[in-house]
């Protein structure tokens, strides 16, 4: 079967006629028309179509009818209707009229949602008059290009893990003196807000904390315990409240390293007065479900509660359960995940024997990584999970405990 | 801890708007009382009030409280620094943010700058942590982090600590001590806060919640992104041995950084 070309060529009858014309004789002669292809283009070959759509044969045949027939035989596209994303045009601000500094947290090295929101707020100020956004954080600026950063100043890599806020504040003050930016924005997070207040106290400037809306000539924030809205011209130092600005989407900026005349990280003159910072071990079961990062959850498929408790201890995870488990009294009521319990936002959720009722899936909407162990292949939880294991929880739990203890002692 | 000063403000009930003791300031006072200092100075700076909210602090076991009387709209930082310099406290405790007024959270930092002290935000415990080797002359502190995590650190010299809401809860205020306690008014000179009077104030109107709308793609994609919960396009292991399943879970947890 012939494949029609994706774009049909436009017929130019005059050119075709000219190509067939022979001028050598006494008068022009026309060659006869070429014979049309014998195959009828409108005729379908259902067997060939079916063969082209066949993706897998074992264990049962599966057809992907949405697939481009031209790529038959090549690897099947994942998902349905994957459109080629058009390239986002790069926006370059070569000669910025002024600079807006965005001091980012980047907790754990990754760009947080709040960091993106700060860059979006900085873009509001920068785009009003041809300014450029300069992000300041540890790590490279490559990840910040699509968040909307024009220039990037990388802080030393060693600063990412240790907590010395005085050093960060000194670096921010040094950058403020070196670049003389029009505004400096910080996230109003515990660490970012702390650094912002240190910088403001050192510079003797007013901090407009927790900005809720922002424009080139007016910024607002909540005051009097959230009952009043205070508006003012944007000050030089501001912190951006969480979830006040939508992060940018579909933009691409340069995020190229800013060449500074002198290294500004000279904030080492004073010995820091805070030191010896280290994380303390926290009892995972003492944390509430809404603030813990790692949840081990049990459902109706768990009968071996001894192993479940040991596994929670071995993993260092907060134990939780579905409604059935809490109704049966295996776990206290405040450990229930789901619509009638807690809506959790942990980073990792390890579920044993949970089928995935809609109410339960509602409770884990905000979870980033879900691992499910269940005996039923067709359970909703298996579809939701990032790693699904169809097995009995009573067999996997002791094996996992053994594995963790082995690796810990090795 | 020899000499502790606590800065107390008048709070505002979030629903009724009534004056009350500020929640984190009360926790700061609780922490100061639990430290059993040699001298405890409690200071409030603000316009003259009838003092009912301040008496709630006295009911927690304070005997006297200094009230620096300022005019309406005055900046309390300078008089507080001047007053604290007389006492020269080694530790200043306060809440993290005022419940009424500007509430920018700047006051502890400005006080620390005036007293040449360090600032430690979000403290939940002062005293020896489970540190094996503590430096003499340094205070061991425990700080609250997001997601219920805790961080231990040491502060050398004088410092200002702000208290996190997850610090030990404040004790209830008793009526008798609240009546018996003394509020000492001290007249103080302060400059007017020009920035605050320059701000325009209006009642806060709740803003619509920020929705994470995914742009681009087809209409079907956007509808799916808005309505469907995230479905993992994950790995599926059907009837593995228990060891193979456990290994897959272990590797996945290591990849997520949940296990070392």
**How confident is the prediction for chain B on average, in pLDDT?**
85
B142 contacts in chain A (CB < 8 Å): 280
Peptide bond between residue B110 and the one before it cis (omega within 30 degrees of 0): no
Other C-beta atoms within 10 Å of A72: how many?
17
> Are residues A213 and A220 in contact, defined by beta-carbon separation less than 8 angstroms?
yes
Does pLDDT of A291 surpass 70? yes
In our burial notation (b when 16+ CB lie closer than 10 A, e otherwise), range B94-127 reads bbbbbbbbbbbbbbbbbbbbbbebbbbbbbbbbe
Neighboring chain A residues of B243 at a CB cutoff of 8 Å: 399, 403
Whether A251 and A173 share a structural domain? yes
pLDDT above 80 (res A42): no
Domain-located, residue A5: no
- Cβ contact A245–B252 (<8 Å): no
B38 Cβ contact list (under 8 Å, min separation 6): B2, B3
pLDDT tens digit sequence for A109-145: 788 888 999 999 999 999 888 889 999 988 888 888 8
Among the partner-chain residues B109, B209, B243, the one whose CB lies closest to the CB of A399 is: B243
Q: What is the mean pLDDT of residues B230-244?
A: 79
Predicted local confidence at residue A96, as pLDDT: 86
> Which structural domain range is residue A186 located in?
90-257
Inter-chain residue contact A244 with B203, CB threshold 8 Å: no
User: How many domains does chain A fold into?
Assistant: 3
- Judge: A226–B231 Cβ closer than 8 Å, yes or no: no
Which residue, among A338, A348, A343, A337, has the nearest Cα to A294 in the 3D structure? A348
For residue A298, pLDDT beyond 90? yes
Q: Which of A32-36, A223-227, B18-22, B175-179 has the lowest average pLDDT? A: A32-36
CA dihedral A266, A267, A268, A272 (to 10 degrees): 180
Q: Which two tokens stand for residue A368?
A: 């980033």
CATH number at residue A214: 3.40.50.620
Q: How far is CA B177 from each of CA A250, B30, B32, B63, B181, rounded to the nearest angstrom?
A: 62, 15, 17, 8, 6
Find the helix or strand (DSSP H, E) in which A275 lies. strand A274-280
Sign of CA dihedral A79, A80, A84, A89: negative
**Residue A40: predicted pLDDT:** 67
Report yes or no on A273 lying in a domain: no
Q: Tens digit of pLDDT for each residue in B195-234?
A: 888 889 999 998 887 766 666 667 777 776 666 655 556 7
Q: A397's torsion region: left (phi>0), alpha (psi -120 to 50) or beta?
A: alpha
Question: What are the sequence ranges of the domains in chain B?
Answer: 3-198
Backbone angles phi, psi at A199, to 5 degrees: -65, -45
A 347-366 residues inside an 8 A Cβ radius of B: 347-348, 350, 361-362, 365
Q: Which residues of B touch A350 (CB under 8 A)?
A: 249, 253
Average pLDDT over residues A364-374: 89
Nearest Cα residue to A146 out of A124, A172, A115, A125: A115
Q: Which residue has the higher pLDDT, A362 or A8?
A: A362
Give the homologous superfamily in CATH for domain B3-198. Answer: HUPs (3.40.50.620)
Res A58 pLDDT > 90: no
**Looking at chain B from residue 234 to 253, which residues have their Cβ under 8 Å from any Cβ of chain A?**
234-240, 242-243, 245-250, 252-253
Q: What is the mean pLDDT of chain A?
A: 84
Residues A241 and A373 placed together within one structural domain of the fold: no
Using DSSP bridges, classify how beta strands A207-214 and A132-138 pair: parallel, antiparallel or unpaired.
unpaired
* Facing residue for B103 by CB, picked from A198, A200, A223: A223
CATH of the domain at A386: 3.40.50.1220
So what's the pLDDT on residue B136? Answer: 54
Classify strands A387-390 and B19-21 as parallel, antiparallel or unpaired: unpaired
CB contacts of B14 in chain A (<8 Å) are 225-226
pLDDT for B92-145, tens place per residue? 999 988 988 888 889 999 999 999 888 999 999 887 644 444 455 678 888 988
Q: Give ipTM to 2 decimals.
A: 0.86
| pLDDT confidence tier of residue A70, bands split at 50, 70 and 90 | low
Which chain B residues touch A400 with a CB distance below 8 Å? 246, 249-250
Q: Outline where B199-256 has alpha helix (H).
A: 219-227, 242-255
**Cβ neighbours of A231 in B, within 8 Å:** 199-202
Shortest CA gap A340–chain B (Å): 18
Domain contains A11? no
The pLDDT score that the predictor gives to residue A31 is: 83
Beta-bridge partners for A154: A137
Select the residue of B121, B215, B235 nearest A249 (Cβ to Cβ).
Answer: B215
Nearest residue of B to residue A209, measured between CA atoms: B104
Q: What is the pLDDT of residue B108?
A: 93
Instruction: Give pLDDT, residue A85.
Output: 54
Decide if A79 is inside a domain.
no
Contact B195 A232 (CB under 8 A): yes
pLDDT band at residue B88, thresholds of 50, 70 and 90? confident
How far is the C-alpha of A2 from the C-alpha of B150, rounded, in Å?
A: 68
Do A243 and A133 fall into the same domain? yes
Nearest CA in chain B to A224: B100
Contacts of A54 (CB under 8 A, 6+ apart): A61, A62, A63
- Residue A407 and residue B250: Cβ atoms within 8 Å? yes
Q: Is A291 within the bounds of a domain?
A: yes
My answer on whether A115 and A148 are in the same domain is: yes
Measured between alpha carbons, how far is residue B28 from residues A67, A189, B38, B56, B164 in Å?
Answer: 65, 21, 17, 14, 9
Domain check: are A102 and A181 in the same one? yes
For residue A144, the model assigns a pLDDT of: 87
A85-107: average pLDDT: 83
C-beta atoms of B240 and A78 within 8 A: no
Which of B246, B251, B257, B260 should be substituted to probe chain A, the one whose Cβ sees the most A Cβ atoms within 10 Å?
B246
Q: Indicate yes or no: CB of A273 within 8 angstroms of CB of B155.
A: yes
Q: Is B90 on the interface with A (CB under 8 A)?
A: no
* Residues A100, A249 share a domain: yes
Angle formed at CA B111 by CA B110 and CA B115, multiple of 5 degrees = 120
Which chain A positions have a beta carbon within 8 Å of B22's beta carbon? none
* Residue percentage of chain B with pLDDT more than 70: 89
Answer whether A293 sits within 8 Å of B99, measured CB to CB: no
Mean pLDDT of B41-68: 89
- Between residues A289 and A2, the one the model is more confident about: A289
- Is the predicted pLDDT of residue A46 greater than 50, yes or no? yes
State which H helix or E strand residue B155 sits in. Answer: strand B150-156
Determine phi and psi for B27, rounding to 5 degrees.
Answer: -65, -35
A3 has a pLDDT exceeding 60: no
pLDDT of residue A249: 81
The percentage of chain A sitting over the pLDDT mark of 90, rounded to a whole number, equals: 34
Band (pLDDT 50/70/90 cuts) for residue A1 is very low
Residue A78 lies in a domain: no
How many whole angstroms from its chain centre is CA A350? Answer: 21
Average pLDDT over residues A173-177: 88
Tell me: pLDDT of B2 over 50.
yes
Q: Are A295 and A346 in contact (CB under 8 A)?
A: yes
B245:A391 CB<8 A? yes
Q: Span A174-185, mean pLDDT?
A: 90
The answer for residues whose C-beta is within 8 angstroms of residue A122's C-beta and 6 or more apart is: A100, A101, A102, A133, A148, A183, A185
* Closest by Cα among B131, B181, B246 to B29: B181
Q: Which of A12, A38, A71 is the last residue of a domain?
A: A71
Better-scored residue on pLDDT, A309 or A92: A309
> B113 or A286, which is more confident?
B113
Mean pLDDT of A2-24: 78
């Amino acid at each position: 079967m012939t494949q029609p070309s994706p774009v049909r060529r436009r017929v130019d009858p005059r050119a075709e006629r000219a190509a067939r014309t022979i001028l050598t004789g006494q008068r022009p002669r026309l060659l006869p028309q070429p014979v049309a292809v014998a195959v009828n283009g409108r005729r379908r070959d259902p067997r060939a179509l079916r063969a082209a759509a066949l993706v897998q044969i074992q264990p049962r045949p599966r057809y992907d009818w949405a697939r481009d027939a031209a790529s038959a035989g090549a690897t099947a596209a994942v998902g349905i209707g994957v459109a080629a994303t058009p390239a986002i045009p790069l926006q370059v601000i070569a000669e910025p009229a002024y600079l807006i500094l965005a001091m980012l947290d980047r907790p754990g090295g990754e760009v947080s949602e709040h960091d993106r929101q700060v860059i979006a707020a900085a873009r509001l100020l920068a785009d009003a008059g041809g300014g450029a956004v300069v992000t300041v954080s540890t790590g490279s600026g490559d990840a910040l290009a699509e968040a909307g950063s024009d220039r990037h100043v990388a802080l030393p890599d060693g600063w990412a893990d240790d907590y010395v806020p005085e050093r960060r504040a000194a670096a921010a003050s040094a950058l403020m003196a070196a670049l003389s930016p029009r505004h400096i924005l910080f996230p109003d997070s515990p660490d970012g807000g702390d650094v912002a207040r240190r910088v403001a106290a050192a510079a003797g400037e007013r901090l407009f904390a927790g900005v809720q809306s922002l424009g080139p000539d007016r910024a607002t924030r909540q005051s009097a315990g959230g009952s009043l809205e205070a508006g003012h011209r944007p000050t030089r130092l501001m912190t951006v409240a969480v979830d006040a600005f939508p992060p940018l989407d579909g933009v691409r900026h340069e995020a190229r390293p800013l060449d500074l005349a002198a290294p500004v990280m000279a904030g080492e003159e004073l010995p820091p007065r805070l030191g010896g910072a280290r994380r303390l071990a926290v009892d995972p079961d003492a944390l509430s479900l809404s603030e813990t990062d790692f949840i081990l959850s049990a459902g109706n498929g768990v009968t071996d509660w001894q192993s479940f408790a040991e596994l929670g201890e071995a993993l260092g995870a907060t134990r939780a359960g579905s409604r059935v488990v809490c109704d049966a009294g295996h776990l206290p009521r405040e450990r229930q995940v789901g619509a009638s319990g807690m809506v959790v936002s942990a980073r990792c959720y390890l579920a044993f024997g949970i089928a995935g009722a809609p109410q339960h899936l509602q409770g884990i909407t905000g979870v980033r990584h879900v691992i499910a162990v269940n005996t039923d292949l067709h359970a909703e939880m298996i579809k939701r999970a990032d790693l699904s294991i169809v097995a009995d929880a009573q067999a996997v739990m002791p094996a996992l405990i053994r594995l963790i203890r082995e690796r810990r002692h090795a | 801890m020899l000499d502790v000063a606590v800065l107390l403000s008048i709070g505002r009930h979030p629903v009724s708007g009534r004056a009350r003791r500020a929640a984190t300031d009360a926790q700061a006072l609780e922490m100061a009382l639990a430290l059993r200092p040699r001298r405890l100075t409690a200071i409030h700076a603000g316009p003259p009030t009838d003092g009912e909210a301040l008496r709630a602090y006295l009911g927690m076991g304070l005997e006297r409280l200094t009230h620096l009387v300022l005019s309406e709209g005055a900046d309390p930082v300078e008089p507080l620094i001047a007053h604290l310099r007389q006492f020269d406290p080694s530790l200043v405790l306060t809440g993290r943010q005022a419940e009424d007024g500007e509430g920018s959270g700047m006051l502890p930092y400005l006080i620390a700058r005036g007293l040449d002290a360090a600032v430690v935000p979000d403290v939940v415990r002062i005293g020896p942590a489970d540190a094996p080797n503590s430096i003499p002359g340094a205070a061991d502190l425990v700080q609250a982090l997001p997601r219920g995590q805790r961080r231990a650190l040491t502060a050398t010299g004088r410092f200002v600590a702000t208290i996190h809401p997850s610090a030990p809860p404040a004790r209830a205020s008793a009526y008798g001590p609240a009546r018996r306690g003394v509020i000492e008014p001290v007249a103080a000179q302060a400059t007017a806060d020009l920035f605050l009077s320059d701000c325009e104030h209006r009642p806060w109107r709740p803003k619509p919640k920020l929705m994470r709308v995914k742009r681009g793609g087809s209409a079907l994609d956007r509808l799916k992104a808005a309505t469907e919960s995230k479905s993992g396009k994950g790995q599926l292991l059907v009837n593995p041995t228990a060891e193979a399943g456990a290994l897959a879970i272990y590797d996945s947890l290591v990849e997520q950084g949940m296990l070392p």
